[in-house]
Amino acid sequence: MNNTRNIKRFWLVMGTVVAALALYFFFMNNRFVDIETPLSSAEIVHADTSKAIYTKGGSGVQIRFDEAVLNEAETSRVVDWLNEAPASAKTAVDRIEGSIHMGIALRLKHNNQLMIQYNGKQIYVTKIGRFSKISRYALHHQALESYLDQELEGTYYGGDLAKEEQEET
């Protein structure tokens, strides 16, 4: 009789623990994937950038990628820009158009990630949550776009990629 009671208690505790863990993972995963959820600088574990540098050389164009780590002030500024953007500045998209000239990767706690990618015309924000759940949107934010354009100055044959592309169209 006592042994049966212990078995029932064991399964009751195990069921409670499994249910609690399932709820935890569900809420934590959805919290980081929702495009309306504000981001906190305290959630960021690592922030880095990568930009494509186009140069003429030999028989054609050479592309190399410069990578750098964002300092705390730059990271905070990027987070502020993302958080201040209203819902009307965000448009859900399925894929990214064009080639990416610069990206900012924010690695967050709990194996989540936020990537900001810029193709010279449009900013794309991709949030990757737990279990690889993804949400992506195009962002219209003038201050962030100006920052990205400034960072890309001189990377397109020593000139401005955005101006070169506008002249071609």
Q: Render 97-115 in DSSP notation, one character per residue.
A: -S--SEEEEEEEGGGEEEE
Q: Tell me the pLDDT tens digit for each residue of 99-112.
A: 899 999 999 887 88
Q: Give me the torsion for CA of 70, 72, 73, 77, rounded to 10°.
A: 70
The pTM of the full predicted model, rounded to 2 decimals, is 0.73
3-state secondary structure of 60: strand
Q: How far is 50 from 108, CA to CA, in rounded Å?
A: 17
**Range with the poorest average pLDDT among 21-30, 53-62, 124-133, 139-148:** 21-30
Q: Is the pLDDT of residue 19 over 70?
A: yes
76 versus 165: the higher-pLDDT residue is: 76
Q: Tell me the pLDDT tens digit for each residue of 26-35.
A: 665 544 445 5
Q: Give me the torsion for CA of 32, 38, 43, 48, rounded to 10°.
A: 90
Q: How many CB atoms lie within 10 A of CB 43?
A: 17
Q: Is the pLDDT of residue 163 over 60?
A: no
Could you tell me if 98 and 117 are in contact, meaning their C-beta atoms sit under 8 angstroms apart? Answer: no
